[in-house]
């Protein structure tokens, strides 16, 4: 159950607004097969994090320029691959409702800008003007830098924002920023204990209350 009044809204992307599971799993499965690493182990770590952090985690002895080459190749392979990418139920209408009411909304994603815009567009979810992609955050989730930057772009303290997340690293980042945090999906982890959760956005309502916004569902 959610019933909060906030001044801004912060969204993760993959798994939170956009279901890109098939694309992401295929990319990391190829990486695992190439380097002899169990994809299950990779996916358990990678969700919600920047690609470079995962490459560093599993290929720590590789020179940095070679790590970056792998990341660039992986991202290039994902650009233009939108088959099977769909919205999390109700995400597009919910984001549009927020924007129509004039709510400050930011997207905070571990994906690069081009890939984020492409996936959001493919899923039919509006892309907010305020966007913090991987290239704009030096420190990946679970560090709160991305969410703090997102709130700053909105001109709203993070403590007055509502954040939607689906991955352990992302939930940690949102909480560390001070934002009220909602878990999207069925994630069960120590960091989600006591947090409100939703399966999708179809049951949520938004109403303007002066300069703030009440979100219920």
Residues taking part in catalysis: 12, 14
Can you read off the two tokens belonging to residue 210? 């002066």
On whether the CB atoms of residues 2 and 182 are closer than 8 A, the answer is yes
Closest CA to 106 of 185, 162, 188, 62: 162
List, in order, residues 6 or more apart from 148 with CB less than 8 Å away: 158, 177
DSSP at 68 = H
Virtual CA dihedral for 48, 146, 84, 27, nearest 10 degrees? -50
Q: At what angle do helices 51-58 and 39-46 cross, to 10 degrees?
A: 130
Closest CA to 96 of 73, 68, 65, 127: 127
> Is the N-terminal amide bond of 216 cis, ω within 30° of 0?
no
């Amino acid at each position: 159950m959610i019933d909060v009044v906030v001044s801004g809204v912060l969204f993760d992307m993959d798994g939170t607004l956009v279901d890109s599971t098939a694309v992401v799993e295929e990319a990391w499965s190829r990486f695992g097969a190439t380097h002899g690493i169990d994809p299950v182990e990779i996916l358990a770590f990678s969700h919600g994090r920047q690609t470079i952090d995962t490459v560093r985690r599993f290929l720590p002895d590789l020179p940095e320029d070679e790590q970056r080459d792998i990341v660039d190749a992986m991202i290039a392979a994902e650009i233009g691959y939108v088959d099977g990418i769909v919205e999390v139920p109700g995400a597009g209408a919910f984001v549009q409702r927020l924007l129509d009411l004039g709510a400050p909304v930011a997207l905070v994603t571990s994906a690069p800008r081009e890939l984020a815009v492409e996936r959001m567009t493919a899923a039919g979810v509006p892309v907010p003007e305020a966007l913090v992609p991987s290239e704009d955050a030096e420190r990946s989730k679970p560090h709160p830098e991305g969410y703090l930057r997102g709130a700053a772009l909105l001109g709203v303290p993070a403590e007055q924002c509502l954040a939607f997340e689906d991955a352990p690293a992302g939930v940690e980042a949102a909480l560390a920023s001070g934002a009220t945090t909602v878990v999207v999906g069925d994630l069960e982890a120590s960091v989600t204990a006591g947090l409100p959760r939703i399966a999708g956005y179809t049951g949520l309502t938004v109403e303007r209350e002066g300069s703030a916004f009440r979100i219920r569902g």
